[in-house]
Chains A and B, each alone.
Chain A
Amino acid sequence: MTQTDTINIDRDKGNFFYPTDYEFDAGTGLNEDTVRYISQIKKEDEWILDFRLKALKVFNEKKLPTHWASKDLENINFDKIRYYLSQGQKPSRSWDDVPDDMKKTFERLGIPEQERKFLAGVEAQFDSEAAYSNMKEQLAKDGVIFIGSTDGLMEHPEIFKKWFGKVIPTGDNKFSALNSAVFSGGSFIYVPPGVKVRQPLQAYFRINAENFGQFERTLIIVDEGAEVTYMEGCTAPKFETTTLHSAVVELVALKGAKIQYITVQNWSDNVFNLVTKRGLAMEEAEIKWIDCNIGSRLTMKYPGVILKGRKSRGEVLSIALSNNGQHQDTGAKMIHAADETTSNIISKSISIGEGRSTYRGQVHIPKHLKNCKNNTECDALLINTNSRTDTYPAITVRGDCNSVQHEASVSKVSAEQIFYMMQRGLTEGQAMSLAVNGFVNELIRQFPMEYSVELKRLIDLEMEDSVG
């Protein structure tokens, strides 16, 4: 780590950097030793190391999916990335005990303030490990578990081992294999039967280092009739070099359980954000992904739900905003595997300037199922004539007792619309911002209030900035 006295500040919230010293550093590049180093300093059980080493092999064997995805993936130099950086493996329970540089960072991002205001628990990850983790006492009394990934596997194997890597197998894709090899941080959550966590639990992921890869692993298990809302936010300072973020998130909603998972992704535009997210919904359970992608250079993320139990419900509500130099390749997967299952996908994408948005959807309803329903709506908004949007919906519905609705639209913000708004006194940036807010308004209304406000503010900033 090079020490600099300057603090880099730009208009975007996350784009600042306080110099940090790391006690633990796996060095540059990825091989078996890297994996062993990570496992060793975490003092992991042998089976976890084995799991990692097998995953590394799968990662090395799998090709980049450039036959269908962006060739930009070839610009990731896996040999130049640092796979583990931390100042220690145990998060503090009090903000006072968090090392100063990290504390300053999280304070500037407003995390302690949000925790006081409306959160039931917070985990704040700084590069590879959580610097802070705390949950309201009552939740611990209710039996809720909210800890880091390695701790989850070591301390509660009876709960977490059973589902770990089951919803998303190591070999699901090249990046899920990468995560399985070098995962560090993330949240393991268990909510006991019938416990309804009223306030959201939040994780905040901060990448601070250059040439770094963050590989958090999250597993949320919500037992019968229980409910939880989990929110994640993320930022990184803007570096010239590429940064990699590759998470795996697995959700398990047992009978009648409800999980709502909310993401506001605001990475700087040198970050490759390649994330695998999937949930398993048992009988009458409900999983809802709310996914907002505003930052990053390339995001590839298709949250999915496997509707395994009768009458289970899956939902993906997503917003993607791509500005110059950005490609948001996002979508949803709904795999119906039981009768009377319903899924709903609403995707809104906004492309500005040379920004590019891609929607990929997969809905699968096999022939033998009855009374399954899917609704898919994907709308794209183009701000300038050189913006680009592509839609690849793949809907496989067999059998005649199931119903599917699919609607797609592409619209443009026209020069006449902008002129009309400017004639009322709005600046060009305000006019575009209003048009975009109008486009996403109906969808944002379904988000929790704190997040809809934050999201609108982020959109305003992006739009103001996009006017040259």
Chain B
Amino acid sequence: MNALEIKKLSVAINDSNILKDFNLTVPKGEVHALMGPNGTGKSTFAKALSGHEDYEITSGEALLDGKNIVGMEPDEISRAGLFLAFQYPSEIPGVSIANFIRAALTARLKDNEDFEVTQYYKKLYEKMDLLKIDRKFTSRSVNEDFSGGEKKRCEILQLAMLQPKYAILDETDSGLDIDALKIVAEGVNNMRSAETGFLLITHYQRLLNYIVPDKVHVMWDGGIVRSGDRSLALELEEKGYDWIKEEMALTT
């Protein structure tokens, strides 16, 4: 069961159904892209899966390596191995990035384990060098007065440090200039391995020029309507989402 398997997941916000019998499988070691126009439920899926209390999962399962994470608390889901890179990450004034990541790692320690400070900084600096992040960056307060690019970089650094089993990147490409986009993509590409599964949520196919996905899924009105390889993303770019809309109109 080395996969993140979403089975017939239905999600409601304030009693209105956003996701309906949503199905998706991301095997470990693969990179999938979830595309679709705004308002089709991509971010809802990410938040609901992470256990956000505003999103009610009305039916279905989400299996992380075979373990159902539906109904678990957000922190339990995180520690079980699911990471969400936020589209709009929150500011935490007064808490440095270094201390924040440290707190997140400390929360993962077993009862008989101690936090290894030296090892931690060694690893942190390695990852920062890899992501071309300046050393001064981690002493700044988490997301406070950050540019769009800095916020995304901060998310990717956390991802690299926490080494989850599955990572969902929610619109990580939005608000990035081309250089920042390349750095983020390089970071993700570096982390690509048999140990991790990625789901990239994106509106544009631009990001997929830099992170080449194994599979592309197109979402429409709360469900996946089409899956294919990378050429599907290129097709979408060429034809736009109207093409999907028209097809959907025909079938309903």
Contacts and interface: CB of A to CB of B under 8 A. Distances in A.
Interface of A: 411, 414-417, 419-428, 430-431, 434-435, 437-442
Interface in B60-97: 73-75, 77-79, 83-84, 86, 89-95
B108 A425 contact: yes
Given A427-B75, A439-B93, A415 B53 contact: yes
B104 A420 contact: no
B93 A438 contact: yes
A425 B92 contact: no
B83, B91, B103: residue with the most chain A Cβ atoms closer than 10 Å:
B103
B75 to A, nearest CB: 4
Interface residues of B, number: 31
Given A423-B50, A424-B104, A426-B104, A437 B95 contact: yes
Contacts of B90: 414, 416-417, 419-421
A435 B73 CA distance: 19
B52 A419 contact: yes
Contact of A423 (B78, B94, B99): B78
Nearest to B79: A425
Nearest to A442: B94
A358 B89 CA distance: 32
Contacts of B91: 417
Interface of B: 50-54, 73-75, 77-79, 83-84, 86, 89-95, 99-101, 103-104, 107-108, 141, 158, 162
Given A430-B107, A434-B100, A434-B103, A422 B94 contact: no
Interface of A is mostly: helix
Contact of B94 (A420, A426, A438): A438
A435 B142 CA distance: 11
B50, B83, B92: residue with the most chain A Cβ atoms closer than 10 Å:
B92
B95 A425 contact: no
Given A415-B53, A427-B107, A434-B103, A422 B93 contact: no
A422 B51 CA distance: 10
A321 to B, nearest CB: 15
Contacts of A414: 90
A287 to B, nearest CB: 27
Given A426-B103, A439-B93, A420 B141 contact: no
A346 to B, nearest CB: 14
Given A426-B103, A435-B95, A420 B79 contact: no
Contact of A438 (B50, B75, B95, B104): B95
Contacts of A439: 93-94
B162 A425 contact: yes
A182 to B, nearest CB: 42
Contacts of A440: 94
Contacts of B84: 423
Contact of B162 (A424, A428, A437, A442): A424
Nearest to B101: A424
Given A416-B90, A417-B90, A430-B107, A424 B100 contact: yes
Q: For the complex of A and B, list the 9 residue pairs with the smallest distance between their C-beta atoms, beginning with the closest.
A: A438-B94, A438-B95, A422-B74, A424-B104, A420-B90, A425-B78, A441-B94, A422-B75, A425-B107
B75 A426 contact: yes
A441 B98 CA distance: 14
Contacts of A430: 103, 107
Contact of A435 (B79, B92, B158, B162): B92
A423 B50 CA distance: 7
B93 A428 contact: no
B75 A428 contact: yes
Nearest to A413: B92
